[in-house]
Structure formats: structure tokens, C-alpha cells
Structure 1
């Protein structure tokens, strides 16, 4: 299995811009999934195909029975699960970095404008106080502690991040159930061609592998629960506001426009 250090560094950066529950979720992902998968689970499944034996000498029978018993290796399945549930967080991190970069560019531009018009102090004073028809300054993206404020478009991205993580968790839990179930039997009966008849195949270390399957299932359920708690933590009202606030100004502008038209007609 490949090196997880790059993904770990990205998730560590995302942790700085997450809620408290989001930080717990990332900790669970990194410690109980990535580290356990790399340190222990891969060793348990290292002999998965080599020690899968069937009581037949028919060429090709053992291979097709292994393919039927394990359409995809548990290790590769869990690696895909980690990648999929991490991707929404990485997209959110990309949005955060984009906002930070845009803020830096805006500050650099304002600094250049102040240097270029330093001899026009009076005009600069009016501009800073909102006079002279200047642009209205945007609210700061950071709070008093220097952390990124999760609101507006960033809040929507964060909400969709949680929603997609939840959907991926549910999808992979169901996928694991339909592919293998949640326990491995030491005996697997196979009647697939080219086997001459129904043959008995034996799986190595089924009890130990079942323990790992249950452990990874519990971790997935804990991650799913944390996602649901985070949605509750954000609050349904805040979630609704984050998803729909970009359309609110247009809806508010219509009544104001009608009121102004009525007043002009009265005059």
C-alpha cells in the first residue's frame, strides 16, 4: 500500500478550518483508519490469495473461486473508502485556500492603491469611511482569533462536504454488506466453471479477518455518527441559511423596487 503521508498533511491542514466535531472526525479517520490499515490490516490480508485453497486440482478453479469469494480485496475496498470520504474534505480545503488567496490579493491591491495615492490623503480618508462613491469593504474573513469564518459560500461548501461524506459512508457500509457480509466463514463452497463440481475452499485466518472487518465497520459507523452530529451542531437553521442565502438578496430587492416605484408615482 502507498504512502499516506501526503494525504495526512492535507487532512492536517483541513483540520485547522473545521469545527470541533470535524476535527474529531479527522482524528478518527487518520488514527483508526489510515494508521490501522497501514500498520495491521495489510499484514492480516497479505496471504489472502496465496493461502486460499480448494480441494480440487482442476486448473483455474481456485482462481475463479477466489474471484467469486472476493470481488475486490478488503484492503483495496477500505482504501477506496478512505479516498472517497476524504475527497469532500479536500475540496473544502481547496475552497478555503482559494478564499485565503483572494483575500491576500485584495490586501495587496489595496496596499498598492494606498501607496499610489498617498499624496491624496483627503480622498483616501473619504474612501476608508465609505464616502466618495468607493466600493463597500467586505467583512473580514477571519475572526478575532485569526481563524477562517465559516459562513456564506464557505458554509455551503462545508455543509455539502458533510452531506457527501455521510452519503459515501452509507454507500460503502452497504457495499461491504452486499459484497462480503460482516463476517468471514472458514469454508466457502464454489460451483463456478471450470470447477468440475461444487468444491470446498478454505480461507486463511477467518476469525482474525472477521475481527478487522467488524473493527472497520465500527469506525465507519462512528464516522457516520460524527457527520450527523456535526450537521446538528451547525444547526438546521444555519444550514438552511448557508444553502439559500445567495438567493435572499434578489428576493428582498423585488419588494424594495416595488415600494420605490409606488413612491415615485405618488410624487
Structure 2
């Protein structure tokens, strides 16, 4: 997987701006590494360590499903897949266009050699040459005007082909990943706006979900105790009838709430930064 990411990053960064390269670093290093390495140690026992103050069969599972509709780790994995997919498609498109440009260049060089070798007979020497030369006009129209960009790759100065179609495809990938980032920030807020116990008494607190403060999209707290509540007719009320009827809720306790808050804020803030970077890359 790391080899594939390296190839994609190498290809896409040839055509990206400084902001684009910064985006790749944040996504494929600072965000992806949490999902594939560090996060597993914190979230490995998230369901087994979720304990409620009742042994009623099914109650704890229902409360956990209400508390964590989607696991943080799985959500981040889907999020990274969605925001990285446009870059992957651009990688394959730019490789295809580079191949077409190289084929056109080879055909033009071959034709030039034939012209220089025999000024009186300019016809292709074999069927393959004839086939390649017939495709030259079509390739020229498909590729368009080819420019050359010079970039540093390591310690070497390299020339890469650049066309308007590659330019438009790159900015289309930015627009799509910007949309995906915004959609997942909103979905994440909707899924993870867990009611902090403090907010039940002060709902106007700017850091509470009831305040509709935009900052809360990026700064969500995971409570140490979750009040599993349910109205008559809901799954929670059915599974935890005695507890809910007597106390109004089932108290459930979350494992490592502080660590999960740190991870949740870390990933949410990076999502917000990546969203801003993508927006700036479109307008600058």
C-alpha cells in the first residue's frame, strides 16, 4: 500500500501547487497514519470496554449503537477514501496523458528520421508506421497544446509535459475533494455531536452542540459517561425498559474518553485545515 501511495503522490505532486503538496502531506501522512497505526491501540476495545449499569441482555449493545452509530476509525477510513479518490483518478489520467504525449513525440521523431533518410520516398516503411502516423492527427487534437514545466525532483531538475486538459483535470479533482471534505465534516458533526453532561445544564455554552457554533464542528468532546435515553417504542426503551422507566436513562461509561477526544479533535481540525487549503488552492 505504501508503495502505491508513493507512486500516486509522486505523480500528482508533479502538477500540484505548494498548497496542493501541503494537502498531500496532511492527508497521507498526518491523517492516514492515525487510521492505519496509532488509532487501533485506542479504539481496539471501544465496544467491549463500553459498560452500562445494567446486565439486561441486549441493553448494552443497543446503547452502544446509539452512542457510536459509526466507529470513529471506520468513519475516518471512509473519509480518507472519499477525499483521496479524486487524486487517485487524476494520477491515472495524468499517466494516460503523459503516455499519449510520449507516443506522439515518438511518432514525430520517427517520421522526422524517415524524412531525413529518404527525401524522395516519404511513405511509411511498414504497416505499424502507417498505423502510428494515421493516429498522429487524432492524438494532436486529443492532447492539445503541450507545454513543458520544469520541477525539482530530489536534487534533479526535470521537465514534465503539461496541457490544458491536465490543468483542468487537476482543478476538477480539487473541487471534488473540497466537496467530499465538506460533506464528511458535516456528517461527522451529525454523528459525533455527543451530548456532554455539562451541556445539559448550560445548553447555551458556545462549545455545546445546541449552540450551533461552527467551531463545534471541529471541536467535539467525547463524554466519560453517556446517558442512554429512549422514548416508548424505541429500541432503547424496549431493551432497557426497567432502567429507563425508573431513572429516565441508562448510565453508560466510555473507555478512554480523553484520548478519544484528542483523536477526534485532531482529525476534525485537520479536516478543517485540509478544507481551507483546498479552497485557497482554487482561488489563489
What's the TM-score once normalised by structure 2's chain length? Answer: 0.71
Distance 2:223 2:52 in 1: 14
RMSD: 2.4
Cα 1:199–1:40 change in 2 (3 A) is same
Distance 2:252 2:38 in 1: 25
Gaps of 5+ in 2: 123-135, 151-157, 194-219, 231-235
Q: 2:159 is matched with which residue? A: 146
- State the Cα deviation string for residues 47-73 of structure 1 (Å, max 9, x = none): 101100111111111111111111111
What's the TM-score once normalised by structure 1's chain length? Answer: 0.75
Q: 1:224 aligns with which of 261, 275, 279?
A: 275
Q: Does 1:205 align with 2:261?
A: no
Distance 1:92 1:178 in 2: 30
Report the more deviating stretch, 77-86 or 178-187: 178-187
Distance 2:91 2:61 in 1: 43
The answer on whether the counterparts of 1:4 and 1:34 sit within 8 Å (CA) in structure 2 is: no
Structure 1 segments, 4+ long, off by >6 Å, are: 134-137
Cα deviation, residue 122, structure 1: 7.5
Q: 2:198 is matched with which residue? A: none
Q: 1:184 is matched with which residue? A: 222
Q: 2:31 is matched with which residue? A: 33
The alignment of Structure 1 onto Structure 2 pairs a total of residues equal to 221
**Greater fraction strand:** 2
Distance 1:85 1:8 in 2: 17
The answer on whether the counterparts of 2:145 and 2:164 sit within 8 Å (CA) in structure 1 is: no
Report the more deviating stretch, 195-204 or 76-85: 195-204
Distance 2:184 2:114 in 1: 57
Distance 2:274 2:59 in 1: 39
The answer on whether the counterparts of 1:51 and 1:204 sit within 8 Å (CA) in structure 2 is: yes
Gaps of 5+ in 1: 125-133, 234-267
Distance 1:146 1:122 in 2: 36
Q: Does 1:169 align with 2:178?
A: no
